[in-house]
Amino acid sequence: MKRRNFIKGAGLGLAASTTLAAPAIAQSMPEVRWRLTSSFPKSLDTLFGASEVMAKRVAALTDNKFQIRVFAAGEIVPGLQVLDACQAGTVECGHTASYYYFGKDPTFAFMTAVPFGLNTRQINAWLYHGGGQELLQKDLYDEFGVQHFGAGNTGAQMGGWFRKEIKTPEDLNGLKMRIGGFAGNVMSRLGLVPQQIAAGDIYPALEKGTVDAAEWVGPYDDEKLGFHKVAKFYYYPGWWEGSAMLSALVNKKAWDALPPQYQSAFEAACLEGQTWMISKYDAVNSAALKRLLAGGTQLRAFPREVLQACHKAAMDLYADTASRNPRFKKVLDHYMAFQAEQLSWFRLSEYTFDNFMLATSSGARRRT
């Protein structure tokens, strides 16, 4: 083996010129302590857990010199104020879903999920190699004084929990539903009354009948939140979140003050967050789904007619929003063009492979 591990600086020049050399070495690895505020409660060990995984990686990459302390929703600021806290410098960084801030500008929704948008693979392609990160950083996040990083994904979410079956688009009319992000604006075009409710408050709202239906993420999280105890029908797909990417936000001044090595550590940790979260959800959702079904939950697919009505409402909302908001229009055009390209490729090998595997395993299941 031709490995050469040799120590530089120490035994060589340092002892001879301590006052010059020592600060140079020490400054390259200063102690930095940051606080991260999460949008999620500790009980959600995947959404919340990702920020712990990222903080652990940053510490390991810097010999514990760069420490990020993770706080759950509400410990520093409420879960839906992570952007504000990062912007104001209350904390150096946060972990959140960008679409929580669609009230400030609906353009934020693209970075998490828009109805009938990109799936998990596709949004990563857009973010890292399709210009998505650069576009939204420059046109949106810079204005809010934060640096953006993709940092986790839930995959395609379930369509949520309903007390009554949804057989036609008219069944959505008048329904009060907890639904996240921009999707509520689509649903309201079909007469649904969307409610923004934080994770921990959804169950009591559903139990008391304050809402008739609620969606969160998927089997693993939804089981933790207990929705199956108060609603029977579990719908799919969550067409408003064909994937939902989480975001790490960093106050710009804090980011610029970091040594390049620590910037690299933070960036690498966020990339790990991406793979860690989606692979964990994929690994644990199946068993949770089985438990839910064993407990009496009934699966229902949204009828095609309902999906089509929702799709039309979404496209109409996009057109209306774009006509009033040039930033939204610019990002929408970019996103939609990219999506069309992605679908033209995914429909070949990816889709036909998955389709064959599902059909074959379904056959195997029926035979047993």
Distance CA 281, CA 156 (A): 10
- Candidates 301, 305, 319, 320; binder of a copy of itself (CB under 8 A) is 301
In this complex, which beta carbon is closest to a copy of itself, that of residue 203 or of residue 302?
Answer: 302
Q: Is residue 314 classed as helix, strand or coil in its secondary structure? A: helix
Token pair in block for residue 19: 């006052």
Q: Which of 127, 69, 60, 76 is nearest to 98 (CA)?
A: 127
Token pair in block for residue 339: 């999506």
Binding of residue 157 to a copy of itself (CB under 8 A): yes
Distance CA 118, CA 339 (A): 6
As measured in angstroms, the least distance from the Cβ of 26 to a copy of itself is: 3
DSSP 164-208: S---SGGGGTT-EEE--TTHHHHHHTTT-EEE---HHHHHHHHHH
In this complex, which beta carbon is closest to a copy of itself, that of residue 18 or of residue 174?
Answer: 18
Binding of residue 283 to a copy of itself (CB under 8 A): yes
Q: Is residue 322 classed as helix, strand or coil in its secondary structure? A: helix
- Candidates 48, 71, 101, 276; binder of a copy of itself (CB under 8 A) is 276
Question: Which string of x and - marks every residue 236-265 that binds a copy of itself (by CB under 8 A)?
Answer: xxxx--x--------x-xx--x--xx--xx
Distance CA 200, CA 40 (A): 9
Binding of residue 43 to a copy of itself (CB under 8 A): no
Stretch that binds a copy of itself, among 165-173, 184-192, 281-289, 326-334 (CB under 8 A): 281-289
Q: How many CB atoms are closer than 10 A to CB 25?
A: 12
As measured in angstroms, the least distance from the Cβ of 359 to a copy of itself is: 9
As measured in angstroms, the least distance from the Cβ of 7 to a copy of itself is: 5
Binding of residue 286 to a copy of itself (CB under 8 A): yes
Question: Which string of x and - marks every residue 199-238 that binds a copy of itself (by CB under 8 A)?
Answer: -------------------xx----------------xxx
Distance CA 137, CA 105 (A): 14
Q: Which of 51, 56, 26 is nearest to 38 (CA)?
A: 51
In this complex, which beta carbon is closest to a copy of itself, that of residue 147 or of residue 339?
Answer: 339
Stretch that binds a copy of itself, among 23-31, 139-147, 177-185, 320-328 (CB under 8 A): 23-31
- Show Cβ contacts of residue 338 under 8 Å, excluding neighbours closer than 6 positions: 118, 122, 125, 126, 130, 132
Distance CA 124, CA 12 (A): 46
Binding of residue 174 to a copy of itself (CB under 8 A): no
In this complex, which beta carbon is closest to a copy of itself, that of residue 77 or of residue 265?
Answer: 265
As measured in angstroms, the least distance from the Cβ of 216 to a copy of itself is: 13
Distance CA 303, CA 272 (A): 37
As measured in angstroms, the least distance from the Cβ of 99 to a copy of itself is: 17
As measured in angstroms, the least distance from the Cβ of 208 to a copy of itself is: 28
Q: Which 45-104 positions form the footprint of a copy of itself (CB under 8 A)?
A: 57, 60-63, 65, 89-90, 92
Binding of residue 278 to a copy of itself (CB under 8 A): yes
